[in-house]
């Protein structure tokens, strides 16, 4: 596995920036240490969290009518839906899994290599917001960004990401992206507020990870979990709200963070999409929408785009 792409410093700088900004926020990558990646897998199995099953339904029914030689999956994690693509793309010679979380990457690459022995499988540790330049070059590459992970980026981050991605695409390459769609607010709320508290445990783990890596004093008991629909931005805002005013010290960053009572620490957003809006975003990044497939219930979309 190629490593050393991950520059811890960049994540630490983003952490200082996020904790000192208003609203306060943490980089999403804190969610995906080894334990967090396992918790995310548990989230994907929750009946309320419909996203992976809707995406699988689409990928099974509508494999892209292209014949890529290389599939590169950004934020591949456990690479569950990747298998739907592998089964539908017989021309494929190489799979590249790309994720910020080294532990989950190693495990998924090994599992897939065992299940698809004819395929060359590579694992790359990196940050899709900074490291697209390290992706292997070549003809007929399909860059897949599944699981609505693109919804974890703010519109500004998304625009930067799409522009960088577009610049890295050649004429024979394609971009396939999974998008959760705007829908009934109660269903969205339920997807991030399961009764068993699995999603809450997943989100709280970000604080545990910061404490472990950076010597933080986040106290879980002083925060309550919150996941609510932000109608203005059309995203789920997911984080931890301070139950009382208190100060958190983060030794590794030399930082003191004073939370007011009721202040939110945003841990992630999950933006929900509309076709026209996303098509406009692709267009501004120099990408043209080729196909837009949805599941039977119209909950989720998979979009295929090429460089204009
Ligand atoms: C929503 S999960 C989806 C995982 C996987 N596609 C699945 O469905 O099981 C997001 C994945 O993106 C990875 N990730 C988050 N931020 C990242 C970043 N900036 N660069 C690379 N990977 C990132 C996480 O480690 C995680 O595996």
Instruction: Say if residue 27's pLDDT is above 60.
Output: yes
* ∠ CA 250-255-258, rounded to 5°: 90
Q: Take residue 297 and report the two structure tokens written for it.
A: 């219930």
Q: Whose CA is nearest to atom 11 of ligand 1?
A: 75
pLDDT in tens, 45-99: 999 999 999 999 999 888 767 789 999 999 999 999 999 999 888 889 999 999 9
Instruction: Say if residue 6's pLDDT is above 80.
Output: no
- Contact 31/268 with Cβ under 8 angstroms? yes
- Ligand 1 binding pocket (C-beta < 6 A) is 28-29, 32, 37, 40, 44, 52, 75-78, 80-81, 99-101, 104, 127-129, 146-147, 149
DSSP state of 29: G
Which pLDDT value is given to residue 67?
87
Kind and range of the H or E run holding 251: none
Which pLDDT value is given to residue 4?
33
* Residue 37, φ and ψ in degrees, nearest 5: -65, -35
Exposed (0-12), middle (13-18) or buried (19+): which is 172, by Cβ within 10 Å?
Answer: middle
pTM over 0.85, yes/no: yes
Query: Per-domain residue ranges for the chain?
Result: 1-208+273-308
Q: From the alpha carbon of 131, which atom of ligand 1 is closest?
A: 20
Q: Summarize the confidence of residues 23-37 as an average pLDDT.
A: 95
Hey, what long-range contacts does 13-16 have (CB within 8 A, 24 or more apart)? 15/210, 15/214, 15/250, 15/253, 16/253, 16/255
pLDDT in tens, 252-279: 999 999 999 999 999 999 999 999 999 9
Q: Whose CA is nearest to atom 5 of ligand 1?
A: 77
Instruction: Say if residue 11's pLDDT is above 90.
Output: no
Angle between helices 34-44 and 198-214 (to 10 degrees): 170
Q: Whose CA is nearest to atom 18 of ligand 1?
A: 127
Q: Given ligand 1 and candidates 6, 106, 149, 164, which is best to mutate, with the most ligand atoms within 8 Å of its CB?
A: 149
Domain range 1-208+273-308, its CATH number among 3.40.50.150, 3.40.50.300, 3.20.20.70, 3.20.20.100 = 3.40.50.150
d(CA 190, CA 204): 18
Q: Which residue has the tokens 């979309």?
A: 301
pLDDT in tens, 137-163: 999 999 999 999 999 999 999 999 999
């Amino acid at each position: 596995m190629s490593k050393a792409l991950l520059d811890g410093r960049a994540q630490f700088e983003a952490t200082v920036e996020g904790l000192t900004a208003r609203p306060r926020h943490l980089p999403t990558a804190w969610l995906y240490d080894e334990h967090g990646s396992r918790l995310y897998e548990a989230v994907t199995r929750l009946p309320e969290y419909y996203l992976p099953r809707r995406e699988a339904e689409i990928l099974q029914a509508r494999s892209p009518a292209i014949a890529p030689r290389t599939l590169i999956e950004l934020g591949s994690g456990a690479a569950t839906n990747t298998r739907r693509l592998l089964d539908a793309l017989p021309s494929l010679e190489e799979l590249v899994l790309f994720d910020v979380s080294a532990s989950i990457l190693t495990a998924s690459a090994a599992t897939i290599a065992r299940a698809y022995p004819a395929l060359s499988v590579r694992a790359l540790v990196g940050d899709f917001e900074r490291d697209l330049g390290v992706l292997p070059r070549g003809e007929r590459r399909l860059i897949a960004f599944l699981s609505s992970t693109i919804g974890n980026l703010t519109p500004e981050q998304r625009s930067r990401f799409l522009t960088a991605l577009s610049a890295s695409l050649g004429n024979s390459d394609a971009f396939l992206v999974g998008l959760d769609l705007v829908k009934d607010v109660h269903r969205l709320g339920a997807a991030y507020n399961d009764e068993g508290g699995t999603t809450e445990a997943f989100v709280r783990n970000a604080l545990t990870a910061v404490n472990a890596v950076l010597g933080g004093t986040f106290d879980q008991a002083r925060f309550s979990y919150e996941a609510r629909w932000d109608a203005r931005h059309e995203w789920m805002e997911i984080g931890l709200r301070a139950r009382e005013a208190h100060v958190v010290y983060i030794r590794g960053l030399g930082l003191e963070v004073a939370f007011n009572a009721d202040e939110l620490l945003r841990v992630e957003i999950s933006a929900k999409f509309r076709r026209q809006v996303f098509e406009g975003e692709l267009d501004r990044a120099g990408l043209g929408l080729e196909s837009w497939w949805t599941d039977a219930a119209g909950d989720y979309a998979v979009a295929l785009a090429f460089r204009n």
